[in-house]
A and B are shown apart, each in its own frame.
Chain A
Amino acid sequence: MRPAFSVLFLTTLIGAAQGLFIALFACELLAAESLPSSFFVGGSILVLIMSVLGGISSVFHLGHPERAWRAMTMWRTSWLAREGIALPAFMASVFAYGVSHWLGWGHTLAVGTFAIVIAITLFVCTAMIYGAIKVLKEWAHPMTIVNFIVLGCASGMTLAAAYASFTAPEIAGVLAQAAFWLTILGLITRGVSLWRNATLRPTSTLQTAIGIRHPHIVQKAQGSMGGSYNTREFFHGKSPAFVRGVLLTLILGAFVLPLVLVLMLPLLAFIIQYLGLLAERWYFFAEAQHPQNLYYQGKS
């Protein structure tokens, strides 16, 4: 698949935002007495800024953004519609959480619990957009959900550690520890899916695609000379060396360097991890082999 950059920014930004919110709520559960309400208000603002940036970025993916509201209507069948509902719901509940801390309304645990449920729902919706596409075997697997949750929580926790190092240094160390272990967990879960996808055998072949039983079939024409939507949307169009470079970048950027840096320089660790996760999401698209490509293998 061709990586869609608006989607790369959307999923990495809201993933980190959800992870940051989960970290904030964990702080409230475990250390509410020692933290000022401004810590939670500021954190909620950060979560909202990233969610809004992600939402804005996603709009660039659409051909008709003015009709985006319609994307909430088919929630009964479409995970994309479910995400379209869950994302604003997440923003609204985080807003409510921040406001109740700011104005001292109380009930922050109840509002926070609700927002946590929405955050996890949003993780599942976002992942299932990809996981529900049965023809893309690389994506249609429970590991897709696991990775979206773990990587979102890892980057969010790294950001929480960076945020706490400026606003609440006394808990920054604990958050950095948590980010470290979540990143280790992410390295394991993403490693499993990288390995699975690298060794996956495609179900469809050129033989099943055109229904001719012969081991030797070569495409001579694909119905266009200058390419088509099919040659643009489903190929990443990069060389194998470039793809290997992205793989190395994602392993170093999303996992190795943040693990080295998070305990000392959490802000730098987050910036590097975020860029690494952009590479990770790029690779997530690039490694998905769409069966329609069987029909676009050559022209003469």
Chain B
Amino acid sequence: MTQLALVIDLNVCVGCHACVTNCKQWNTSGAAGSLVDCNPYEAEPNGTFFNRVQTFEVGTYPNTDTVHFPKSCLHCEDPACVPVCPTGASYKRKEDGIVLVDYDKCIGCKYCSWACPYGVREFDEQRKVMTKCTLCVDRIYDESLPEDRRKPSCVLACPPGARLFGDVHDPESAVSIAIRERGGYTLMPEANTKPANHYLPRRKTTVSVRSDELYRSDNPHKIDGAPFDKNLPPTNEELN
């Protein structure tokens, strides 16, 4: 069974919001109608977005890390939002695991957004229906697009390539390998929703050098039989 998902590398994300704008552009131009923007040029601009980048500061000055954290629907394998829907407008596709909302069936009761622990569903104040990330279901299967363009808009837009897209149930897919080999994790595992989207953690690139590695056994200043520096441990030869 296929489970399409995003894997977001927090070590690579620079917080540029390109994924946010490309997501908005694609999804506001689709057949489902535009994503509302209220007061776009006023003091309190707000609107519907399927994807947002948040920023967190980890640690205390001067040892701080700025973490940019893109957040969109996690397409949970056990989604809390789907069974609560009274109309069946919220559903999870069997064929690829994408969680979708049928805008023609949604009555706008907002109950699904209450059940979701992640706050990734946004009620559209203009269309009066619940909206959410579709994993660009209207472009990933579009055969009129070149094959390498059949990816979610956010993935295509990401300049440093922090967003990977693929089938997390296929152990050999790029996303599965990334999760497996680079410490992929899910958000709020205690909610038991089994998110399909994974995040790759921040990593510090450091070179670890042990003190014995600083000691050259072929050092020309080394006197036979005596350690070059008495503070350094003896070589294997000296011990033998």
List A residues at the B interface (Cβ < 8 Å): 1, 61-65, 67-68, 70-74, 77-81, 84, 129, 132-136, 203-204, 206, 208-212, 214, 216-230, 233-234, 290-293, 295-296
Distance between Cα atoms of A63 and B43 in the complex (Å): 26
A224 to B49, Cβ gap below 8 A?
A: yes
Known contacts A63-B108, A77-B84; A218 and B56 CB within 8 A of each other: yes
A79 to B122, Cβ gap below 8 A?
A: no
Known contacts A135-B117, A209-B187, A290-B114; A216 and B59 CB within 8 A of each other: yes
Known contacts A214-B59, A229-B48, A230-B122; A70 and B107 CB within 8 A of each other: yes
**Interface of chain B residues 108 through 145 with chain A (CB within 8 A):** 108-111, 113-119, 122-123, 125, 127-129
Distance between Cα atoms of A220 and B83 in the complex (Å): 34
Distance between Cα atoms of A263 and B125 in the complex (Å): 48
- The answer to whether B237 has its CB under 8 Å from any CB of chain A is no
B83 to A292, Cβ gap below 8 A?
A: no
A223 to B56, Cβ gap below 8 A?
A: no
- The answer to whether B201 has its CB under 8 Å from any CB of chain A is yes
A295 to B80, Cβ gap below 8 A?
A: no
Q: A74-B87, A219-B56 are in contact. List 12 more A-B contacts (CB 8 A).
A: A64-B107, A67-B87, A78-B83, A80-B109, A133-B115, A208-B188, A211-B185, A219-B57, A220-B57, A221-B54, A221-B55, A226-B43
A222 to B52, Cβ gap below 8 A?
A: yes
Report B216-233 CB contacts with A as 1/0, cut-off 8 Å: 000000000000000000
Task: Give me 30 A-to-B residue pairs in the complex whose CB atoms sit less than 8 angstroms apart, sorted by A's number.
Answer: A61-B109, A61-B110, A63-B110, A63-B123, A63-B127, A63-B128, A64-B106, A70-B105, A70-B107, A73-B86, A78-B83, A78-B111, A81-B86, A133-B115, A134-B115, A208-B188, A208-B189, A211-B186, A212-B58, A216-B58, A219-B54, A219-B57, A222-B54, A223-B71, A226-B44, A226-B46, A234-B119, A291-B191, A292-B118, A295-B71
Distance between Cα atoms of A295 and B188 in the complex (Å): 12
- The answer to whether B165 has its CB under 8 Å from any CB of chain A is no
Interface residues on B, range: 35 or more
User: Shortest beta-carbon distance, B69 to chain A, in Å?
Assistant: 5
Contacting residues, chain A, for B67 (C-beta < 8 A)? 210, 212
User: Shortest beta-carbon distance, A97 to chain B, in Å?
Assistant: 27
Report B85-99 CB contacts with A as 1/0, cut-off 8 Å: 111110000000000
A129 to B116, Cβ gap below 8 A?
A: no
Contacting residues, chain B, for A81 (C-beta < 8 A)? 86-87
Contacting residues, chain B, for A84 (C-beta < 8 A)? 86
Checking A217, A229, A233 against B56 with a beta-carbon cut-off of 8 angstroms, the contacting residue is A217
Closest Cβ neighbor of B193 among chain A residues: A135
Checking A64, A224, A291, A293 against B52 with a beta-carbon cut-off of 8 angstroms, the contacting residue is A224
Contacting residues, chain A, for B125 (C-beta < 8 A)? 229
A80 to B111, Cβ gap below 8 A?
A: yes
Distance between Cα atoms of A233 and B49 in the complex (Å): 15
Contacting residues, chain B, for A1 (C-beta < 8 A)? 114
**Interface of chain B residues 34 through 82 with chain A (CB within 8 A):** 38-39, 42-49, 52-60, 66-67, 69, 71, 80, 82
Contacting residues, chain B, for A79 (C-beta < 8 A)? 84
Closest Cβ neighbor of A204 among chain B residues: B188
B113 to A72, Cβ gap below 8 A?
A: no
- The answer to whether B6 has its CB under 8 Å from any CB of chain A is no
User: Shortest beta-carbon distance, A300 to chain B, in Å?
Assistant: 8
A210 to B83, Cβ gap below 8 A?
A: no
Report B1-37 CB contacts with A as 1/0, cut-off 8 Å: 0000000000000000000100000000000000000
User: Shortest beta-carbon distance, A221 to chain B, in Å?
Assistant: 4
Contacting residues, chain A, for B55 (C-beta < 8 A)? 219-221
A77 to B83, Cβ gap below 8 A?
A: yes
Known contacts A71-B109, A233-B113; A78 and B85 CB within 8 A of each other: yes
User: Shortest beta-carbon distance, B106 to chain A, in Å?
Assistant: 7
B80 to A74, Cβ gap below 8 A?
A: no
